[in-house]
Amino acid sequence: MNDTRPLSICVYCGSRHGAQAEYAVAARALGTAIGQRGWQLVYGGGRVGLMGEVADATLAAGGRVVGVIPESLQKLEVGHTGLSELHVVPTMHVRKQLMAERADAFIALPGGIGTLEELYEVWTWRQLKYHDNPIGLLDTAGYWQPLLRFMDHTVAEGFLGAAMRDLVLVGDEPVALLDRVAAAARAARGGDDYSKV
């Protein structure tokens, strides 16, 4: 297979900035790295919080950004009007499905219950073999450590296989994690070299 299209990274993250300044710094670093590689960001379509940080950084570095936002959240999240594409959809279900369809890989940054729900959905879809895209967690300032301990608990208690727990790539450095996720996406696509796009 020789697919020369840009890698498309779906990023889930908060519509708030959170309590630590490092969260926004990491979001900007990830967006910059996506844009510098000429790749595409797919995200929730807002211009506030970490969502806005990663989108603006990707655009500033020359990348394409595709936003998908439900009508009910467009005002709440302040839909970003400067994107390459902005899709306003009727429901959250349609939003998540379209984001997943446009993605070659998923990365979750710090966020709230919406971010968790999106992460768990694509993780579940991976377990059910609905897709084979890699999933990464950007563990800025140790944000995801409590969740990872809980997931270890689900393995210990017999509700999750260790292989499915270990499938999620975890890193605290945005560029290094992006490179790992891209390598996994390349392997899933039979060796497509996204780094040369």
What is the pLDDT, as a whole number, of residue 78? 80
According to DSSP, residue 153 is labeled H
**pLDDT at res. 74:** 82
Contact 49, 24 (CB under 8 A): no
pLDDT given for residue 166 in this prediction: 94
128 located within any domain: yes
What does the pLDDT profile of the chain (197 residues) look like in tens digits? 345 688 999 999 999 999 999 999 999 999 999 999 999 999 999 999 999 999 999 999 999 999 999 998 887 768 898 999 999 999 999 999 999 999 999 999 999 999 999 999 999 999 999 999 999 999 999 999 999 999 999 999 999 999 999 999 999 999 999 999 999 999 987 765 544 33
Rounded-to-integer distance, Cα 5 and Cα 103, Å: 12
Residue 196 lies in a domain: no
Q: Is residue 194 in a domain?
A: no
DSSP codes joined into one string, 2-29? ---SPPEEEEE--SS--S-HHHHHHHHH
pLDDT computed for residue 2 by the predictor: 45
What CATH number is given to the structural domain containing 177? 3.40.50.450
Backbone angles phi, psi at 82, to 5 degrees: -105, 20
What secondary structure letter does DSSP report for 79? Answer: B
Contact present, 78 and 47 (Cβ < 8 Å)? yes
For residues 95 and 67, the answer to whether their CB atoms sit within 8 Å is no
Report yes or no on 56 lying in a domain: yes
Look at residue 92 in the predicted model and tell me its pLDDT: 93
For residue 67, being part of any structural domain is answered with yes
Question: Would you state the pLDDT for residue 191?
Answer: 62
pLDDT at 76: 75
- Those residues with Cβ within 8 angstroms of residue 12's Cβ, 6 or more apart along the chain or in another chain: 43, 44, 106, 107, 108, 109, 111, 114, 115, 118, 119
Domain total in the chain: 1
Q: What's the Cα-to-Cα distance from 78 to each of 33, 99, 118, 141, rounded to whole Å?
A: 24, 18, 19, 27
CB 42 within 8 A of CB 18: no
> Which domain does 20 fall in, by range?
8-189
Distance CA 79, CA 46 (A): 5
103 found inside a domain? yes
Q: 3-state class of 85 per DSSP?
A: strand
Is 2 part of a structural domain of the chain?
no
pLDDT of residue 192: 54
Looking at residue 72, what is its pLDDT? 87
